[in-house]
Every structure is written in structure tokens, then in C-alpha cells.
Amino acid sequence: MRGSTMMTKPDLFPVVGIAGCGLIGISWAGLFLASGHDVIAWDPAAPARDRFADGVARVVEQLDAIGRSGQNAKGHLSVVADVRDVASAASLIQENAPENVPLKRALYAEIESVAADHLVISSSTSSLVWSELSLGMKRPERLVTAHPFNPPHLMPLVEIFGPDIALLTRVAEFYRSLGRVPVMLKKEAVGHIANRLASALWREAVSIVAEGIADVPEVDAALVNGPGLRWSVVGAHMAYHLGGGPGGIDHYLKHLGPSQERRWATLGSPSLTPEVCAKLVDGIRQESQGLSVAELELRRDRGLIAVLGARQKAET
């Protein structure tokens, strides 16, 4: 896979902490363990701690099955009831707490109360920004935002931001050693890069449904079998560069740019009214065909694994 060759380096951060044992924490922990890192995990909820190991084991099995585990022996997993035990033992903590600024700040304060100076806190936040999260920290430079796409053990992207370039370079090397594809933001932005793109696309998808242009299943089918398929191998800018023919993006902008602007002018700005929400819920009910969320997740993961395998073969 381009830019995501597995080359495990447990020495970068030999012990990785997990703060938050939900779906994202489970996925991250499985990836860390499969790459040879020891993992120490914490969650404030006892039920989440109790089911964590089983969830992580399923992720590791999945990585083994698709040949994504590293050459090192598997790491050791421990689950604790006090986040300070994580802060004392880990060299990097992958924080997966809910998207709540005061909650995350309080968590960082508790971590910093016992943390060594070298500890790195890497936040999986999907939309919050570094300047909000770091306010009040003793050592704000230790914090980086490192947003994965769900599930992190299958989706290669990690979007990182922070003020310390040397630390960002080291953190990027760490994620790259896990087979991830880190991208660095030049400045912080709500939603980072990918979620801003995804939100813009979903806004128009909702608008199409709200305006009665097409129903949910048709919108999703158009995306999966059209631009979504192309985007799995080339990005938005490169797609339009190729769409410009031999003249590339320069030709496209000069000759088709005005038509693009006309399209932009017709894009919608829908509101999630009760009526629109009802259309979306009904549409998903039709598209799901009675499958549960868990069954749909398994179908998604099988599809992702197939796409990743096809990409890997195409790029070797």
C-alpha cells in the first residue's frame, strides 16, 4: 500500500497507553499490539474495561488474517482502573475520550499530575482543535492531535497537528511504522482535513435527499460506484487533473472551471429538520435491508480489507 508499508519500530514508543476503551481505543490497541508494542489501557467505565481485551483480540486476529501484523512478537496488553497508572507507564498515550473539551482538559490534567516530561499525548479527536485542548496544560507542547479514520486498524489515514515540528516528525514516523499514512496540517482547523471533506460531501448528499432529487440508497450507490471508487486511488485534485486530458489541471481550470463554479452555486445548505431527519432514517432503513449495525460494520470491514488488498497488489 502506497506510503503505508508495515515496518514496526516498538523502540519509538515501546509502551503505548490507551485512554478511552471504546471502538476507537479497541482498534488502536489491536494495531499497536500487532506491531509489537506493549499496551496499557484505561477507561472510566468498568464495563468498557471488562470487554476491552476481547475486542482487541478480534482486531489482532483480523490483522493477522490479512497479513498486516509486524515481524515483532505481539505486545502485552494490560487494563487498569486508574489513568495515572497509564501515565506512569506509557511513553505515548492515544487519547480517545468523548468530544468534550472540558472533559479532555480534565483528563490531561490528571495525566500530567504524574507524567514524566517525555510523555506524549496523542488525541484522536475528530473535530476539536489543538489550541482549545491544550489550554491549561503544564506542558502543552507534549500534546498532538492525531485523528484516525474509523476503524484505525484498517483505515491508513492519521491527520496530525501540533506546535513542535520535531515531535510531529517523530510521531509521524511512529504512525508510519504502524502502516499508517500520516498527513500534517499546516494550521489547525475544525474537522482537520478529511472530516471537512466528508462533511461537505454529506451536506450535499443530505441536500439531494431533502430536495427530492434522489433517495438515500440511490445517493449512496452513486457515490460508491462513481467518485468514491475513483477516490480510493486518486484524490480530488488529481482526479480533476486527469479530467483535464493531456493539458491536465491547467486546461481543466481554464476551460471547465466556469462550469465547476456554476455547479458550486447550485449546491445546497440543508437543515436537519424533523422531516429531513425522517427521510434519512427511512432511507438508511431501506438501504440496510434489516441488517444490524454490527452486521453492517462486518460488511464494511470485509469491503475495506478487499479494497486495501487490491490497492496493495496494484501498487507493487
Q: What is the DSSP string of 61-78?
A: HHHHHTT-S-SSPP--EE
The per-residue pLDDT for range 49-94, each reduced to its tens digit, is 999 999 999 999 989 888 776 656 789 999 999 999 999 999 999 9
57 and 133 inside one domain: yes
Expressed as residue numbers, the domain containing 206 is 194-233+271-315
Residue 272 has pLDDT above 80, yes or no: yes
- Residue 206 lies inside a defined structural domain of this protein: yes
- Residue 1 lies inside a defined structural domain of this protein: no
79 and 226 inside one domain: no
- Angstrom distance (rounded) from CA 253 to CA 222: 25
| pLDDT on residue 118 | 93
Domain termination residue (choose one: 184, 203, 223): 184
- Residue 227 lies inside a defined structural domain of this protein: yes
Split at pLDDT 50, 70, 90, the class of 98 is very high
Whether residue 23 contacts residue 56, with contact meaning beta carbons closer than 8 Å, is answered with: no
| pLDDT on residue 10 | 58
Whether residue 44 contacts residue 18, with contact meaning beta carbons closer than 8 Å, is answered with: no
- Residues in the chain, overall count: 316
Split at pLDDT 50, 70, 90, the class of 135 is very high
Domain termination residue (choose one: 184, 217, 244): 184
Split at pLDDT 50, 70, 90, the class of 210 is very high
- Residue 199 lies inside a defined structural domain of this protein: yes
Q: What angle in degrees, to the nearest 10, is found between the helix axes of 274-288 and 194-210?
A: 100
Residue 4 has pLDDT above 80, yes or no: no
CATH number at residue 21: 3.40.50.720
| pLDDT on residue 177 | 94
35 and 131 inside one domain: yes
| pLDDT on residue 18 | 98
| Percent of the chain scoring above 90 in pLDDT | 86
213 and 97 inside one domain: no
135 and 33 inside one domain: yes
Domain termination residue (choose one: 184, 209, 244): 184
pLDDT, mean of residues 269-278: 96
30 and 155 inside one domain: yes
111 and 208 inside one domain: no
pTM, two decimal places:
0.88
168 and 19 inside one domain: yes
| pLDDT on residue 85 | 98
Total domains, the chain: 2
pLDDT, mean of residues 148-165: 96
154 and 203 inside one domain: no
110 and 26 inside one domain: yes
- Residue 248 lies inside a defined structural domain of this protein: no
37 and 159 inside one domain: yes
170 and 285 inside one domain: no
The per-residue pLDDT for range 227-265, each reduced to its tens digit, is 999 999 899 999 999 999 999 999 999 999 999 999 999
